[in-house]
Amino acid sequence: MYTAKIYVTYKPSIVDPQGEVIQAALQRMNYQGISSVTQGKYFEVNLAAPNVAAAKNEVANFTDALLINQNTETYRFELVSTDDEVQA
């Protein structure tokens, strides 16, 4: 078993109005050092796959198909094997 931790954000060229509103609020609250805020989405998907390469392939496929809109969003992910935990 694997757990994929997938982080979706807008592509750099896309305006992120929610991120901008949050940034403005933080600056109003006197958090001086903040230069930018990006709001994104985070997914945790548990999946079975024969090996790491197959799991990576699967994650990339379903993320492209559903989790992101390829016009405007991009993503990165981490893959963790959960087999150790299952046995413990």
Partner 1 sequence: MKAAVITFPGSNCDLDLFHALADLDFEPTVVSAQTTDLSNYDAIFLPGGFSYGDYLRSGAIARFAPVMAAVSQAAADGKIVVGICNGFQILTEAGLLPGQLFGNEQPGFICDEVDLLIDNSNTTYTNAYADSRIKIPIAHGEGNYYVDSATLAEMEANHQIVFRYADNPNGSVANIAGVMNLAGNVFGMMPHPERAVDAITGNTDGHPFFKSILQTLGMAVGRK
Binding site for partner 1 (CB under 8 A): 14-15, 17-18, 21, 41, 66-67, 69, 71-72
d(CA 78, CA 70): 19
Helix %, strand %, coil % of the chain (to 5): 40, 30, 35
- Report the nearest approach of partner 1 to the CB of residue 71 (Å): 5
CB closer to partner 1, 1 vs 62: 62
CB closer to partner 1, 55 vs 68: 68
CB closer to partner 1, 1 vs 47: 47
d(CA 42, CA 7): 5
- Report the nearest approach of partner 1 to the CB of residue 27 (Å): 17
Separate counts of helices (H) and strands (E) for the chain: 3, 3
